[in-house]
Amino acid sequence: METKIFTADTVKDAAALLKAGELVAFPTETVYGLGADATNESAVRKVYAAKGRPSDNPLIVTVADVATVERFATITPAARKLMDRFWPGSLTIILPIKPGALSPVVTGGLQTAAFRNPANALTRELIAESGNPIVGPSANLSGKPSPTTAAHVMHDMKGRIAGILDDGPAKVGVESTIIDMSTDTPTILRPGAVDEEMLEPVVGTVASDKHKVGAGETPKAPGMKYKHYAPDAQVVIVDHEVDFPAAIAWATASGHDFGVLATDPVLKGLDDTLTTYSLGKDLQAATANLFAGLRYFDLHPTVKVVLAEGFVAEGLGAAYMNRLEKSAGGEHFSPKAAQ
């Protein structure tokens, strides 16, 4: 299959492919998504096949407006407040769906679905032009780092999907916050750029569900059950800037080629023969650049270990560390263990 690139001038052509049951990747402010008509079960099944995604991992339904959500779900007053405050934007909202409104292939067999209205005008135009909401998982092979550019999508999906709508690099860099509004207490199932401090003035107390989903349990949101965001090399999180010299010494002693994924203050003064990737100057830049950095090391197949900078898991740091922890499989560098 030829994978075509579309732009703002050819968005109607991309929408025509969606109407025909084909897959088209699309840009958002967070990462690139993989779109298919959410009302076309055979098209949705193509998404699972293209990604190699487990079928019990539910898909986000991406919409152009709130009115579309009303076709499929019951919007509670609290959920509507969130939509009024944060949509379009980086917040995905789980709601109870109307009986038979969406295929179990979309929902993972649950009676809830996750809805998102992205802050990318070109994608909202694509959805509106196609006439139906689209499913929108990240447009990468399952388990790999999410794509933040059209080039990343092409790397993973060339020949697997019909097209990619290119609108430049994603600005946020990690997927949207997911909040479950089908429960008594609103619960964050995946942290993102919209954090608890931003949500609580709108809906009151917000819980954070940090449990791991069991083998026989269907997750209510993407990213809760399976290993995600992993490059070919083993990622090892270095929690403190002062630990990097010890971590580099440990990695050097291992005899394996290794890389360093860190902000400019950490990289400054390191041996320039090391394979490194700059996350930028601070946490905000690091979050935007994390997935691109993880993908960078797949271009260096001799690198077997990536030393990645950790941050305090608060605010945006919670979103960054959520993705990095999953990429590393929970592996942290321990200065004492390395001695």
Dihedral angle of Cα 68, 72, 78, 79, to the nearest 10 degrees: -60
Is there a contact between 123 and 27 (Cβ–Cβ < 8 Å)? yes
pTM: 0.92
Match domain 4-208 to its CATH number in 3.40.30.10, 3.30.460.20, 3.90.870.10, 3.30.420.140: 3.90.870.10
Which helix (DSSP H) or strand (DSSP E) does residue 262 occupy? Answer: strand 258-262
Mean pLDDT for 302-323 is: 96
pLDDT-based confidence at residue 53 (cuts at 50, 70, 90): confident
Query: So where are the chain's domains?
Result: 4-208, 234-338
With beta carbons less than 8 A apart as the criterion, state whether 60 and 90 touch. no
Please tell me the distance from the alpha carbon of residue 316 to that of residue 293, in angstroms, as a whole number: 18
Tokens matching residue 183: 């429960």
Minimum mean pLDDT among 73-87, 115-129, 214-228, 311-325: which range?
214-228
Q: Residues with Cβ < 8 Å from 269, sequence gap 6 or more?
A: none
pLDDT in tens, 279-298: 999 999 999 999 999 999 99
Q: Which homologous superfamily does the CATH classification assign to the domain defined by 234-338?
A: Threonylcarbamoyl-AMP synthase, C-terminal domain (3.40.50.11030)
What torsion do the CA atoms of 306, 138, 264, 319 make, to the nearest 10 degrees? -90
Distance separating alpha carbons of residues 338 and 238, to the nearest angstrom: 12
Going 329 to 330 to 333 to 338, the CA torsion angle's sign is: negative
The helix/strand/coil state of 55 is coil
pLDDT tens digits, residue range 194-237?
Answer: 999 999 999 999 999 765 566 566 777 766 555 577 889 999 99
AA letter at 38: A
